[in-house]
Amino acid sequence: MTITEKNIDTSELELIAGLRSYDQKVFSKIYDLYSAALYGIILRIVDSSAVADDVLQETFIKVWKNAGKYDESKGRLFTWMVNIARNSAIDNTRSKEVKHTSKIQNTSDDVSIMQESHSYIVNTDTLDMSQHVNKLPPEQQKLIELIYFNGYTQQEVSDEFGIPLGTVKTRVRNAILELKKIFKVN
Amino acid sequence: MNSQEIIESGLLELYALNALGEKEKADIEKALSQYPALQNELRSIELTLEKYALSREVAAPEHIKMNIFEEINKTASGKEIKSPQTDINNTFKPEPYARMKYFYAAIAVLLLTNIFSNLFLLDKINKKDEELITLQKNFEVMTEDFDKVKQNIAFKDNFIEQLATGEVVKVEMKGVELSPDSKTLVYWNKNNNEVFLKVQNLPEPPSGKVYQLWAIADGTPVDAGIFNNIEKDSLLKMKDIRNAQAFAITLEPEGGSINPTLEQMYVIGNI
């Protein structure tokens, strides 16, 4: 058993194969699995839910059209989709300047502001998980939010917090190690 | 850096978060292809982030999925997606989608314009409806009038016909002391006993009173009908009379009388 086979579960392989062969049933399954997670990320980046709707649609159309570009050796399907969603969302913020300003405003205070700013329907199945996430120390949570949901680069985080690049790496690693424990990922 | 050093550096985490610069990203991708252990570690980081994202999920509006499938079915059968494996930068062009946006915006504008003009037209139609109803009523009144005129003409034609055959007797009735200016005519058809009264001049009857026409046959007054229409030149059909030497009109209480009130005689005329 190779390492790749061990770490990409069968359903992921099926999804990838289905997507590559433009199987609409599989694509529908991918949408059902991931659209809400992607929508949650998009909502944290764009200014309105109307824009988020457009971005989500755009994201899945890009996923469909670029299925052939996906390379599983570079990461999981969901990671690839998140990157597409995040880039589309950033492109759809009103302007780079507005994007930057809103980023700072949204994140300069506590992370809870961001959570509260979107009062959308939250999947009740995942509410428990949300509780777990709150166990993450606020500083680490903020770091992950900025990078994962707001698309900050390592350099931007370094500038924002006034910490060296090396420290950013360490803190991100520690934050994800914490998350691994919370979500019981080996 | 060996694989363990890379794992401990935090670079894989930033790679999974897409937060590395181009150079570092390329380095990691190269290392990933070399060290399977790195892939293993990366999967576990990605899975963690994936669970994190799933814990923050927000249900998207239902119509989006439908829109996406409409869109991919359109492009699948159309020309837009000839080679799905073309360069990512080319296929990521937002133009077709942006164009759709304009298209939908144009449709929305058209729909709104349509709605407003429909409301405007509806208002106009309602007004026109009212006008139409008024016109219709007027038309009905005119039709009634016209029918009356037609009947009158037919009646007069028939009347003239009768006059021409010499069967009709014309009786001129003149005012008496009570009302010297009064004047009426009776046309009596001896053949079919029909009696017509033509008012030329009669005073307005007081309220509660009517005029009554009498035919005097062998000295006895016979009721020939009541009337209160004193319009000049109106021709009134009265009761049939078989025998008469004279006609007279008296003023009587409403409903008429069995015997004439002679003190209230207005006109009289002998045949």
pLDDT of residue A25: 92
Q: Which two tokens stand for residue A65?
A: 């059209």
Contact B48 A185 (CB under 8 A): yes
C-alpha count within 13 angstroms, C-beta hemisphere, residue B24:
20
Q: Which two tokens stand for residue A134?
A: 């709150």
pLDDT of residue B74: 80
| All CATH 1.10.10.10 domain ranges in chain A, comma separated | 95-186
pLDDT of residue B96: 59
pLDDT of residue B77: 53
Q: Which two tokens stand for residue A26?
A: 């599989």
Report whether pLDDT(B95) > 60: no
Report whether pLDDT(B93) > 60: no
pLDDT of residue B224: 94
Q: What is the nearest CA distance from A97 to chain B, expressed in angstroms?
A: 19
Average pLDDT over residues A66-78: 91
Q: Which two tokens stand for residue B123?
A: 């208002």
Q: What is the nearest CA distance from B48 to chain A, expressed in angstroms?
A: 6
* Alpha-carbon distances of A21 from A67, B13, B84, B186, rounded to whole Å: 9, 30, 11, 108
CATH match of A7-93 with 1.10.1740.10? yes
pLDDT of residue B253: 93
In this complex, the residue of A37, A62, A151 whose CB is nearest that of residue B57 is A37
Query: Which range scores top for mean pLDDT: A18-22, A129-133, B187-191?
Result: A18-22
The pLDDT tens digits for A81-123 are: 999 999 999 888 755 444 444 444 444 333 433 343 333 444 4
| All CATH 1.10.1740.10 domain ranges in chain A, comma separated | 7-93
pLDDT of residue B97: 62
pLDDT of residue A101: 45
Contact B65 A28 (CB under 8 A): yes
pLDDT of residue A133: 55
The pLDDT tens digits for B137-146 are: 888 888 888 8
Instruction: Report the b/e string of B185-200 with b at 16+ CB within 10 A.
Output: bbbbbeeeebbbbbbb
Q: B101 and chain A: CB distance < 8 Å anywhere? A: yes
Q: Which two tokens stand for residue B263?
A: 């003190």
Instruction: Tell me which of 1.10.150.120, 1.10.3720.10, 1.10.10.10, 3.40.50.300 is the CATH number of domain A95-186.
Output: 1.10.10.10
Chain A with chain B: Cβ pairs closer than 8 A: 196
* Alpha-carbon distances of A6 from A2, A9, A47, B13, rounded to whole Å: 6, 7, 40, 20
Average pLDDT over residues A59-77: 92
pLDDT of residue B168: 83
Would you say A19 and A26 are in contact if contact means Cβ atoms under 8 Å apart?
yes
CA distance A19 to A30: 9
Residue (of B41, B18, B29, B14) closest to A171 by Cα position: B14
pLDDT-derived band of residue B98, with 50, 70 and 90 as boundaries? low
In this complex, the residue of B29, B46, B58 whose CB is nearest that of residue A122 is B58
Q: Cα angle at A180 between B14 and A36, to 5 degrees? A: 75
Would you say A39 and A58 are in contact if contact means Cβ atoms under 8 Å apart?
no
Average pLDDT over residues B72-96: 51
Q: State the complex-level ipTM.
A: 0.78
